[in-house]
Amino acid sequence: MKVKFFTASSLLIATLTSATLINPAHAETTSSTDNHQQTTQSQQQKTPKIDKGNNVKPVEKKERANVILPNNDRHQINDTTLGHYAPVTFVQVQSNEGTFIASGVVVGKDKFLTNKHVVDATHGNPRALKAFPSAVNQNNYPNGGFTGEQITKYPGNADLAIVKFSPNDKNQNIGEVVTPATLSDNADTNQNQPITVTGYPGDKPLATMWESRGKITQIQGEDMHYDLSTTGGNSGSPVFNSRNEVIGIHWGGAANSYNGAVFINKDVQNFLKQNIEDIHFSNSDNNDDNDNNNGTDDNNNNNNNNTNDDDNNYDNPDAA
């Protein structure tokens, strides 16, 4: 299968040295009706299918490529419906240029988080974005598919967007077929802490979930860097701490240097709380200090079945 990458050359991520006050009221929101994408109820509830065609391209920003680093500890997740893996979501965006792939994470009854540069590929049509939570592969998506209904972009520089989804053909919401992820308040998130990035990289078989492990190397404002490896298609992947709470949303990296994410600091948290009424943040003061480095049961259960990165090299000629 020919696999290519999304590009978005104009979007820059600001590295902030202090907190920036953001007015959530200034967030840019696009819905299907804004663009005259009127459909019947039966069409709205039609469950999408994964596009397995030859013109499938992972999403990536040209100036912020996803990077394979010396720390290339990537493992396939086979039991994608277990624990914190379940809300991790395979994304397809259909456009005139082809079908683009990316990642996201469910955080509310009908909403998930991804990148601005992912939703930009919809060209203002939320229904062009399809989401498949817990996808196992291109033939197995145990929680079905969902169609975008509304897009809300973070009003600051951070590469972050919220997508609201229509119910499926069983009238289920995306956050009802999987348990939405818990987000960290990040009060105790620091440099050198162990993390994982979990998503759907484009250099692997289509719609297979992979986890990459590493540690935080820098946090500054809304920007977080780390030493683990990712590729195109990982855009929008959740970054988990050792308690399997989301601390950031992956956006890309700098060649031979680092990969990075939108760090969910107080400004980002305020934006999310104002736009996702049922979003759940943990309180770090109540967390168990005995939590270990990604040693939770759902991680350990998957390790026995994981496929090492080195064992699966797929020739995707257009992959970065």
Torsion over CA: 281, 284, 289, 293 (sign): positive
Active site residue 79: no
Question: From CA 244, how far away is CA 185, in angstroms rounded?
Answer: 13
Task: Give the phi and the psi of residue 150 in degrees, each rounded to 5.
Answer: -150, 140
Residues in the chain: 320
Phi-psi region of 313 (alpha: psi -120 to 50; beta: other; left: phi over 0): beta
Secondary structure E strands in the chain: 28-31, 56-58, 74-76, 88-95, 98-106, 111-114, 129-133, 146-153, 161-165, 194-199, 210-220, 223-226, 238-240, 246-254, 258-263
Which one from 75, 84, 117, 225 is the annotated catalytic residue? 117
Which one from 110, 159, 227, 309 is the annotated catalytic residue? 159
Which one from 166, 212, 235, 237 is the annotated catalytic residue? 235
DSSP string of 144-189, one letter each residue: --EEEEEEEE-SSSS--EEEEE---TTS--HHHHSPPPPBP--TT-
Active site residue 117: yes
Tokens of 101: 């792939």
Tokens of 231: 């590729």
Active site residue 84: no
Catalytic residues: 117, 159, 235
